[in-house]
């Protein structure tokens, strides 16, 4: 059951048909999550999907709205964000399809068997560890900077979780594209689809969306 008394710092909005609660200091719903949800091809009812670093659950709700997947799981290390994500799931009556686990994604190999999910998704922190000032607010620091896990860790865990024939999906800054491609190669994954995205039509693309798997050739899609 969601909390009866919602603290004043928790803001309420909408994601499609769902009510969405988000905290004041953590990662907010952004266009990046919407673009990532739209980038993922249609999923079947029998498919299972996991998000690594789900925050307050914005992408979980987007996936519940836009896909038919019957099993959607979120992993979140920060306690407040994980609690709000659980509230969002209960508030919208999605407990039968969506779940959230408070955990460090680097430590979930003992929780899920290898190859448990058809799709692994993540909108990870964009700022490289040691390359920026870390916010003194824990929720904001975890949402924006690689405080708990680097991109190489994220990709290694994604490779462990994805089933044979499954795919992994990321949104990440263009400035770190080559780094991500190197980490994919080291983990034994291949980039399959790449799409650049502009935050503003007047500026060059600052983020990219990427699908990776174990087999296949790269297709570069039209920029959005």
pLDDT, residue 141, reads 44
pLDDT, residue 144, reads 53
**What pLDDT digit, counting tens, does each position of 36-49 carry?**
999 999 999 999 99
Distance of CA 213 to the CA centre of its chain: 17
Residue 119 has pLDDT above 90, yes or no: yes
Question: In CATH, what number does 11-220 get?
Answer: 3.40.50.150
Does residue 124 contact residue 97 with C-beta atoms inside 8 Å? Answer: no
**What pLDDT digit, counting tens, does each position of 50-80 carry?**
999 999 999 999 999 999 999 999 999 999 9
**What pLDDT digit, counting tens, does each position of 95-114 carry?**
999 999 999 999 998 899 99
**What pLDDT digit, counting tens, does each position of 151-191 carry?**
999 999 999 999 999 999 999 999 999 999 999 999 999 99
Question: Percent of the chain at pLDDT above 90?
Answer: 74
pLDDT, residue 25, reads 56
3-class SS string, the chain: CCCCCCCCCCEEEEECCEEEEECCCCCCCCHHHHHHHHHCCCCCCCCEEEEECCCCCHHHHHHHHHCCCCEEEEEECCHHHHHHHHHHHHHCCCCCCEEEEECCHHHCCCCCCCCCEEEEEECCCCECCCCCCCCCCHHHHHHHECCCCCHHHHHHHHHHHEEEEEEEEEEEEHHHHHHHHHHHHHHCCEEEEEEEECCCCCCCCCEEEEEEECCCCCEECCCC
pLDDT, residue 157, reads 97
Domain boundaries, the chain: 11-220
Residue 3 has pLDDT above 60, yes or no: no
């Amino acid at each position: 059951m969601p909390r009866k008394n919602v603290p004043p710092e928790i803001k309420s909005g909408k994601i499609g048909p769902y009510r969405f609660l988000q905290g004041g200091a953590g990662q907010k719903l952004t266009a990046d999550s919407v673009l990532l949800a739209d980038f993922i091809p249609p999923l079947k009812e029998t498919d299972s999907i996991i998000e690594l670093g789900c925050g307050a659950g914005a992408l979980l709700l987007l996936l519940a709205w836009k896909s038919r997947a019957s099993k959607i799981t979120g992993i979140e290390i920060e306690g407040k964000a994980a609690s709000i994500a659980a509230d969002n799931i209960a508030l919208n009556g999605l407990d039968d399809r969506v779940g959230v686990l408070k955990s460090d994604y680097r430590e979930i190999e003992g929780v899920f068997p290898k190859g448990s999910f058809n799709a692994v998704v993540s909108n990870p922190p964009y700022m490289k560890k040691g390359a920026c000032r870390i916010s003194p607010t824990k929720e904001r620091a975890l949402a924006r900077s690689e405080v708990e896990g680097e991109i190489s860790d994220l990709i290694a865990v994604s490779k462990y979780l994805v089933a044979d024939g499954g795919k992994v999906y990321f949104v990440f800054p263009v400035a770190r594209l080559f780094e991500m491609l190197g980490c994919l190669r080291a983990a034994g994954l291949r980039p399959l689809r790449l799409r650049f995205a502009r935050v503003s039509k007047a500026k060059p693309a600052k983020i990219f969306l990427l699908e990776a798997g174990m087999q296949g050739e790269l297709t570069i899609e039209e920029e959005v």
